[in-house]
Structure 1
Amino acid sequence: MSSQVSLPQSLQTGLPLTALAPMQDVTNLWFMKVIAQYGSPDYFFTEYFRVNETSRLNRSILAAITENDTGRPVFAQMIGESIPDLVRTAKELCKYNIAGVDLNMGCPAPRIYRKQVGGGLLLTPEKVDRILGELRQAVSDRPLTVKMRVGFENTDTFYKILDLINRHSIDLLSLHGRTVKDMYHGPVKYDLIAEAVRWVNCPVLANGNIYSAQKALEVLAQTGAAGVMVGRWAIGNPWLFNQIRQALRGEAIAPMPLIEVRNYIERLWQTPEAPNIPERARVGYLKMFLNYIALSVDTEGLFLRLMRQAQTEVELFKICDRFLLDEETKTLALSPYQGV
């Protein structure tokens, strides 16, 4: 059994860790660069590399590692269940400047878990045992990390899998406090994250509905976790990692004028690939981000409804301007609208 490998340094020694959760179609190189301009998390995680018998490293996901100039460590995430191919891919990834290799054991998309990968792995602890054992041998000189949920449909295998995290000297566990079947709905079981913190020998990042700096403080206090991993709410508020650090230092959080939010949206719109993408696809791509941004801008939900109906760039930005530029004194809400 190998001993644990040390994790990359945090931005601020002595403060809990922050990480941007890996999100498919979101956490690409461009989004990491944009987020970094507003205050980087301690750690980035890539979208997942799909691993199977015929898989090769996806070039655009690889760019989030090879072309990443944010100055922050990037963990490469894999999803799959074929042990020889996971081992092969992990070794390939270790040739690049990665902070570590992360195994996805939590993806709740039915098309994923039905293939016994992502969250589907939680149903077969015996398989997880074999995967982690082989990966630990293949990844010996840098962190091997796991992102998972508290169970598939229930928490029957929870402690069994935590024991495997210990057995194979996993270096960091990112734990979303819902089951796979919960998707993103319902209460997050922070009490089970607290249990995991007590149970495993590695640092735990608490994940699930951390929508504000205040919420991050509450979750850290409740779970004793080494840090927080934030996904969707960092899309809506790219200042969130900075705000979490401010709150942890006991500083007041500076309110963010909505004109800054409008600038952020403009940045998201100007992706490097933009000129080659049809308008309709670009509008759809931006709406994916606006689904979260709108919730922190207009707590009534009207911005969200109107934005979703927009068909063209002109229409979409007219709605953005109406909500973001009409009232110069308005600032981004510190807690988003929870009505969806």
Structure 2
Amino acid sequence: MSQVSLPQSLHLDLPLTALAPMQDVTNLWFMKVIAHYGSPDYFFTEYFRVNETSRLNRSILASITENDTGRPVFAQMIGESIPDLVRTAIDLCRYNIAGVDLNMGCPAPRIYRKKAGGGLLLSPEKVDLILAQLRQAVNDRPLTVKMRVGFENTDTFYSILDIINRHSIDLLSLHGRTVKDMYHGPVKYDLIAEAVKRVHCPVLANGNIYSATTALSVLSQTGAAGVMVGRWAIGNPWLFNQIRQALRGEPISPVPLVEVRNYIERLWQIPSAPNIPERARVGYLKMFLNYIALSVDAQGDFLRLMRKTSTEVELFNLCDRFLLAEGTQTLALAPYSGV
């Protein structure tokens, strides 16, 4: 079976950009917020869990059916039961999705212990069976894979790349760490470069792309078709625009801290807010602030004090103190090290 063409990118002359799928983060609301500051070419949903009793999760589905960002959305699945993955892929193809993405990289132990997500990297034979069946089921739109370079080591890396070729996968998003590395340690960009040479489809380089300068460096090191950014886009939603500026050789627009304060306000205004208790809402916002803080205050005081707050008033007073105090300060172009 031949490959299917990918949706058109926003900027035909530039490498691709994508927002990585992140559980509890990349919902409809966050996609809209990111789009406000400068959309990537592609969005990916949080994963749809797939098992014998699973049905399509309604709130994840909303990020497809109610998405008015104007950007293509790939629907990501996680699971290992072949008939159920096929059933879910067919269900998803009834909606306006850019393609179906299989998660083969999730490093959460509760996922990989069930032989799903990153656990699939331990058995290339299983990957072969899954992709064969999915390719038959998904034949009129892209079938894509997100994976890591291995589970504990890279023993299965090349055989899985060959399986990706065998089943005409349309796009590979590759995080250059193993499952056991989680999010720590150096990213093996050299292995992403190997994958770019070996597979017949475009490759998105993923892993610790924290700035526009890093994106340029990773693209030149790997020869990848584009970059996929996850956690660092939470801290800097302007990043996709900044990457495009850097690719065009333009100066990168600085982001005043007052704009960061507006971004935090926007995150706070989740549409379901009236139904969420204040403490839970504060906890949800802190998840984002953990990343934002790394580019706001080199000393780490904002991060430390933010984690101690428990009410909306406390949290926003603190944000005002750090973000509105000095009119000229801007968001750091790279996260502060050692915070």
Q: TM-score, normalised by structure 2?
A: 0.99
Deviation at 1:302, TM superposition (A): 1.3
Residue 131 of structure 2 corresponds to residue 132 of structure 1: yes
Residue 234 of structure 2 corresponds to residue 219 of structure 1: no
Alpha-carbon RMSD: 0.6
Q: How does 1:1-340 map to 2 (within 5 A)?
A: 2-339=1-338
The code of the aligned residue for 1:247 comes to: A
Distance in 2, matches of 1:268 and 1:224, equals 35
Distance in 1, matches of 2:78 and 2:39, equals 25
Residues 240-294 of structure 1 show CA distances to partners (whole Å, capped at 9, x for unaligned) of: 0000000000100111100000000000000000010001100000000000000
Distance in 2, matches of 1:338 and 1:236, equals 14
1:142 is paired with a residue of what secondary structure? coil
The code of the aligned residue for 1:95 comes to: R
Distance in 2, matches of 1:311 and 1:227, equals 40
Residues 80-136 of structure 1 show CA distances to partners (whole Å, capped at 9, x for unaligned) of: 000000000000000000000000000000111011000000001000000000000
Distance in 2, matches of 1:152 and 1:27, equals 24
Residues 298-325 of structure 1 show CA distances to partners (whole Å, capped at 9, x for unaligned) of: 1221111111111111111111111100
Residues 171-214 of structure 1 show CA distances to partners (whole Å, capped at 9, x for unaligned) of: 00000000000000000000000000001000000000000000
Residues 142-196 of structure 1 show CA distances to partners (whole Å, capped at 9, x for unaligned) of: 0000000000000000000000000000000000000000000000000000000
Sequence identity (%): 87
Distance in 2, matches of 1:62 and 1:196, equals 31
Number of positions where the alignment pairs a residue of Structure 1 with one of Structure 2: 339
The code of the aligned residue for 1:16 comes to: P
The code of the aligned residue for 2:147 comes to: M
Distance in 2, matches of 1:89 and 1:77, equals 10
Deviation at 1:338, TM superposition (A): 3.1
Unaligned ranges ≥5, structure 1: none
The code of the aligned residue for 1:202 comes to: C
Distance in 2, matches of 1:299 and 1:90, equals 45
2:255 is paired with a residue of what secondary structure? coil
The code of the aligned residue for 2:55 comes to: R
Distance in 2, matches of 1:162 and 1:306, equals 45
Distance in 2, matches of 1:13 and 1:113, equals 37
The code of the aligned residue for 2:77 comes to: M
Distance in 1, matches of 2:173 and 2:13, equals 19
> Which portions of structure 1, spanning 4 or more consecutive aligned residues, are displaced by more than 2 angstroms?
none
1:47 is paired with a residue of what secondary structure? coil
Distance in 1, matches of 2:312 and 2:287, equals 14
Residues 30-83 of structure 1 show CA distances to partners (whole Å, capped at 9, x for unaligned) of: 000000000000000000000000000000000000000000000000000000
Q: Which moved more, 1:308-317 or 1:187-196?
A: 308-317
The code of the aligned residue for 1:288 comes to: M
1:96 is paired with a residue of what secondary structure? coil
